[in-house]
Amino acid sequence: MGKRAVFYLALIIFMIIAPFVFPVFKTQLATVWLMIIVALTWDMTGGQMGYNSLGNITFYGTGMYVAAVVTIALAYDVGEYTGSSGGGIYEFTDGQYFTGMFLGMLAAGLFCSVVAVVIGYITFGLRGPYFAIGTLGVAIAAGELVSNWDWVGGGQGIALPVYPGDFENGKILFYFLFAATGVALFLFLKWLYTTRFGAAINAIRDDEEKAEAMGIHTLQYKLATWAMAAFFVGVAGAISAFQLIHFEPLESAYQTINLGIFMVVCALLGGKGTLWGPVVGAILFHVFKEVTWTYLLGWQWVALGVLIVATVVYFEGGVVGWLMERKPHWFSLPAKADEAAGDDQS
Amino acid sequence: MEQFASNFGLLLQFPVVNLKIVIDGVMIGALFALAAYGLALVWGVMNVKNLAQGDFVIAGGYICWWLSEKGLPALLGVPVAFLVMAGIGWVIYKVVIRRVIDRDLFTTLLATFGLAIIMAQMLNLIFGSDTQSVDLGYETLYFIDGFIDVPIAKLLGVLMAGSLAIGVVLFMKYSRMGQAIRATAQDARAARVLGINTDRVYAFTFSLNAAICGAAGAIIVMVWVIQPFYGITHSVRAFVIVTAAGLGNLPGVIAAGLGIGVLEQYGAHIFGIGYQQAIAVLLLLLVLIFRLLQQRRVRQSLQ
């Protein structure tokens, strides 16, 4: 246990001092946390429950919009604010900004949970690839609809007030907001996967018909899991909205082919169905992405596509899956771990 | 909202507008049906849901456009796109699809999605992100006091799509390879036992699909526009059509293809062209929900 405690302690210390040690990379580090959050939440349904969603980005975009609308609505009329598209002068006091941010995050999370239940009620009857395509359809449709909805700014998007005070301090605040959400999510999942609930969703992944026959209300479990995932994605979206200041529907909020796919790749790269997999995958993926974005001018997307294909085709278990095979004692697994043992916990 | 209502009112006021929309929809829907037929083929034979379908279409379109830019006759682009895409499809099968074919379906979905990203971005890098089209320079026919305009190029496109579809159907029915493909679709294991090299059948099916898509794209560039990132919409359409029609149901695929073409034209007329992608996606959701309700009825009857 000693080693493990040291490991966690070192991680926490690194997490806290990272934005001060690497001041240039504050926003990058915050984005790593964002990737960790979305990858972990994707893995809740994709890895642990066997429902591969391609539409979790819906909650990210919706969270952004809910947070923005809540913040604006506290001070001004939303339609007027978005209608002026930067023309009018709208001042936000510090108090309005921070209450807006706090309430916005909360509202975003809760609203996204409700959205998840509603969408899930329709889509969870779909199995396998139909679920993936259906949720992808939901995400694309949501983006298109919002971008044609003038009350929230239409295709122009929404501009939020800038962080009052020092810009660099704002970056640190956003880093810690993301980090706190990420840690909370990680600890929550670490606990959740050991409970009866975790066992139930794993049962749904392994064989849904049998799980149902054993008396598990599969639809309720599926809706609850997705709602929990949506809550955290919504909160992350809300933080992103304040961090980006200005966002527009198709490129930054409902970015189906960017973040919407990245989260899946993160989870697969790290190893889906494990607790640490999405975390490791998100960090590796973000590093890969930033390196290619910097050095492969123009070809970065092709490199990314190749990474996706290579991960999916040649690297099935992901990094953590591969490590589990090689170093089972790191995960307190029996030395000759069979396939099933790798699925539960890390 | 009033805008939509007035657009809708226009349809009732001038019935001839409906006719124009239906004709336009049928002509473009024939091409959707072609791409969807390729998807149904791959889906039915090797159980691969190819999300790069639309990008095969767009790639075919760019081949045709590139030829016509070089001064060659654009109509030559259709067979050239067919052959080139067949080669590309074969390579993709050997490198990627072969390795995911017996893995779970989400894996194939994601792998082909990765392929879609690669293809769209390569096209973007090579040809630029502008929308392109090829003008064949044919006249336009007018009917009913000029209310209905039918460009000869579009008629020619429908004709080519039709003859290609007939060719593929005849091939599937009478050729040795076509028989082998159908046998593999029915029972791959039994086909292997009977001496059919299923790996070759799969490779052939996938490259045939890419070729059909390429030819469809070459026709689309002559009657419509293409752009590197339009692929995903074509993929979604193909999925709508196949999901609505069911596998191995050729008349269904054609009917669904024409239907979605007409519905999209109506949607574009009522809601404006900006909603085109949203309409394709919403149709997909509607079809999926409809299928779901059907299944639910089946499950209830079991209780």
Contact between chains at A137 and B122 (C-beta distance less than 8 A):
no
A273: phi > 0 → left, psi -120 to 50 → alpha, else beta; which? left
Half-sphere exposure of residue A84: CA atoms within 13 angstroms, side-chain side: 12
Most confident stretch, A137-151, B45-59, B139-153: B45-59
Give me the residue spans of the domains in chain B: 2-302
Which residues in chain B are closer than 8 Å to A304, comparing Cβ atoms?
117
Q: B275 CA to chain A: closest CA distance, Å?
A: 7
pLDDT class of A91 with cuts at 50, 70, 90:
confident
A240/A322: higher pLDDT: A240
The 10 Å CB-count burial string (b at 16+, else e) for B152-176 is ebbebbbebbeebbeebeeebeeee
Q: Which of B27, B80, B88 lies closest to B56, judged by CA?
A: B88
Contact between chains at B278 and A52 (C-beta distance less than 8 A):
no
Residue for token digits 């998807």?
B39
Nearest C-alpha in A relative to B281? A137
Query: How many Å apart are CA B106 and CA B94, to the nearest integer?
Result: 19
pLDDT of residue B62 exceeding 90, the answer is yes
- The B-side interface with A (CB below 8 A) comprises 49, 96, 99-100, 103-111, 113-118, 121-122, 125, 232, 236, 239, 243, 274-275, 277-278, 281-282, 284-285, 288-289, 291-292, 295-296
Q: Are B214 and B82 in contact (CB under 8 A)?
A: yes
A329-333, A334-338, B118-122, B203-207 — which is least confidently predicted? A334-338
pLDDT at A340 (0 to 100): 46
Contact between chains at B100 and A313 (C-beta distance less than 8 A):
yes
Specify the amino acid at residue B169.
V
Instruction: For residues B250-279, give the mean pLDDT.
Output: 81
Contact between chains at B117 and A257 (C-beta distance less than 8 A):
yes
pLDDT at A346 (0 to 100): 41
Q: B150 CA to chain A: closest CA distance, Å?
A: 31
pLDDT digits (tens, 9 = 90+) for A217-236: 888 999 999 999 999 999 99
Query: How many Å apart are CA A302 and CA A296, to the nearest integer?
Result: 10
Q: Among A125, A126, A305, select the one facing B118 at the smallest CB separation.
A: A305
**Whole-number Cα distances in Å, A111 to A61, A122, A176, A252, B88:** 12, 17, 23, 19, 46
Nearest C-alpha in B relative to A124? B292
Considering the segment(s) B2-302 as one domain, its CATH architecture is Orthogonal Bundle (1.10)
Half-sphere exposure of residue B254: CA atoms within 13 angstroms, side-chain side: 8
pLDDT at B296 (0 to 100): 67
Contact between chains at A129 and B110 (C-beta distance less than 8 A):
no
Q: Among B111, B285, B292, select the one facing A125 at the smallest CB separation.
A: B292
pLDDT class of A126 with cuts at 50, 70, 90:
confident
For chains A and B, count residue pairs whose Cβ atoms are closer than 8 Å.
104
- The A-side interface with B (CB below 8 A) comprises 52, 122-123, 125-126, 128-130, 132-134, 137-138, 140-141, 144-145, 148, 257, 261, 264, 268, 298-299, 301-302, 304-309, 312-314, 316
pLDDT digits (tens, 9 = 90+) for A73-88: 887 777 777 776 555 6
A294 phi/psi in degrees, rounded to 5:
-85, -40
The 10 Å CB-count burial string (b at 16+, else e) for B260-281 is bbbbbbbbbbbbeeebbbbbbb
Q: Are A160 and A98 in contact (CB under 8 A)?
A: no
pLDDT class of B208 with cuts at 50, 70, 90:
very high
pLDDT at B303 (0 to 100): 47
pLDDT of residue B280 exceeding 70, the answer is yes
Which residues in chain B are closer than 8 Å to A133, comparing Cβ atoms?
49, 109, 239, 284, 288
Which residues in chain B are closer than 8 Å to A301, comparing Cβ atoms?
117-118, 121
Q: Are B115 and B42 in contact (CB under 8 A)?
A: no
Q: Among A126, A144, A301, select the one facing B121 at the smallest CB separation.
A: A301
Q: B286 CA to chain A: closest CA distance, Å?
A: 10
Which residues in chain A are closer than 8 Å to B121, comparing Cβ atoms?
299, 301-302, 305
Nearest C-alpha in A relative to B236? A137
Give me the residue spans of the domains in chain A: 47-255, 257-346
Q: Among B277, B288, B295, select the one facing A134 at the smallest CB separation.
A: B288
Q: Which of B288, B290, B302 to mutate to test the interface with A (most CBs of A within 10 A)?
A: B288
pLDDT at B176 (0 to 100): 92
Q: Are B134 and B156 in contact (CB under 8 A)?
A: no
Beta bridge partners of A247: A158
Longest dimension (CA), chain A: 67
pLDDT of residue B300 exceeding 60, the answer is no
Q: B217 CA to chain A: closest CA distance, Å?
A: 22
Query: How many Å apart are CA B116 and CA B110, to the nearest integer?
Result: 10
CB neighbours of B119 closer than 8 A, spacing ≥ 6?
B52, B55, B56, B58, B59, B231
H/E stretch holding B150 reads: strand B148-151
- Summary mean pLDDT of chain B: 85
CB neighbours of A183 closer than 8 A, spacing ≥ 6?
A15
Contact between chains at A312 and B110 (C-beta distance less than 8 A):
yes
Instruction: For residues A296-315, give the mean pLDDT.
Output: 83
pLDDT of residue B88 exceeding 80, the answer is yes
Longest dimension (CA), chain B: 66
A136/B53: higher pLDDT: B53
∠ CA A49-A39-A132, rounded to 5°? 50
Query: How many Å apart are CA B30 and CA B161, to the nearest integer?
Result: 7
Specify the amino acid at residue A317.
G
Q: B106 CA to chain A: closest CA distance, Å?
A: 6
Contact between chains at B125 and A130 (C-beta distance less than 8 A):
no
Q: B110 CA to chain A: closest CA distance, Å?
A: 7
Query: How many Å apart are CA A56 and CA A263, to the nearest integer?
Result: 9
H/E stretch holding A159 reads: strand A158-159
**Whole-number Cα distances in Å, A141 to A148, A194, B236, B298:** 11, 36, 12, 29
Q: Are A170 and A163 in contact (CB under 8 A)?
A: yes
Contact between chains at B278 and A148 (C-beta distance less than 8 A):
yes
What DSSP state is assigned to residue A252?
I
Q: Which of A144, A218, A264, A293 to mutate to test the interface with B (most CBs of B within 10 A)?
A: A144
Which residues in chain B are closer than 8 Å to A298, comparing Cβ atoms?
125
SS3 B79: helix
Alpha helices in chain B (DSSP H): 2-13, 15-46, 53-69, 77-92, 98-100, 105-127, 152-174, 176-186, 188-193, 198-223, 231-245, 250-271, 276-302
Nearest C-alpha in B relative to A123? B289
What DSSP state is assigned to residue A161?
P
